[in-house]
Structure 1
């Protein structure tokens, strides 16, 4: 589990094709280093990945299966790219965002970027399969960042990014047309699905 508070940027150092999967070698920033064991969970662009090899104190390897590569933006990574990184949540740690599982539902596209006073507004595409879970003022996970949803339309939604978020995450490098990993808030999904089942039972 993760909190959606990205700790820093990591670098993609190497990408190897290993049969049907890709092995990513990631150089972690100092804030994300230390006490890493084989099998540990680390979120890369919001995707929960398992450490399969530790080369040294800063470099670790992850195996990413074909399904994850197709569902997320990890399949588009190239050597030298920056990625958001967060270590897994520990009991007693502060939760500054919301609980994130690291299980990406789909990706959305950056449709527009608008600079506003003290913030940047992004308009993102709203994939059909997650429409009912993306609500105004609700939580959402984008590339592993816990963010609050702004305006929601039929086929798009807005988020507002402050300078701190832009400087700490990959969002500072993103441009129109880029794909962003999207994870819906688990509590929102549970409530919406429960209400849907209740209404369906009432009609029956």
Structure 2
């Protein structure tokens, strides 16, 4: 489990096709200027790390990078299939009991892909608008939570299959929002509570 509070931006250092090219092995370089990542203290083989919202398992590591293996299913349902060497990746270590829950409960299981349709300066922040698949739009509510590329965000407004959020400069600097552009695809995870409430309302009680 994660909180959607990004602790550093890593970089795709190497991409290696595996499984006859259907699957992928990624090596992610970690930010050495962040105490939580420099030398990767406490990270062990088998650990879960959220990479731009996708919960991935560490299969190899050294003090400067870690490797993960990604199935064809994950590649087809997330932005990972379009990642390139040199690309920035939002990183978050798994939540430990006793940690501060600064965002919201995030599982690292991507529900679908959204698309950036607008980014507009609004006072001291930037208003971002995302279009989401129709099947996910009903789970996104004004003032509710959503994870975009692993970042926990509060929804400002919802108009059909479009929702908006405001990103302050600090968030842009500490995540890949600083390099995101109109037209880019993003990984979306809906709020877990919204998922279960919707499921309950579908059943005959």
TM-score by length of 2: 0.94
User: Residues 110-149 of structure 1 correspond to what in structure 2 (within 5 A)?
Assistant: 110-149=116-155
- Which of the two has greater helix per residue? 1
Which residue is 1:179 aligned to? 185
- Following superposition, which runs of at least 4 residues in structure 1 exceed 2 angstroms of deviation? none
Which residue is 1:40 aligned to? 47
The answer for unaligned runs of 5 or more in structure 2 is: none
Deviations 1:32-58 (A, max 9, x none): 32121111000000100000111x212
Measured after TM superposition, the shift of residue 196 of structure 1 is 2.5
- Selected match of 1:170 from 162, 170, 176: 176
Are 2:194 and 1:188 equivalent residues in the alignment?
Answer: yes
User: Residues 1-204 of structure 1 correspond to what in structure 2 (within 5 A)?
Assistant: 1-19=1-19, 20-30=22-32, 31-32=36-37, 33-54=40-61, 56-197=62-203, 201=204
Structure 2 counterpart SS, 1:191: helix
The alignment yields a C-alpha RMSD, in angstroms, of 1.0
Measured after TM superposition, the shift of residue 126 of structure 1 is 2.0
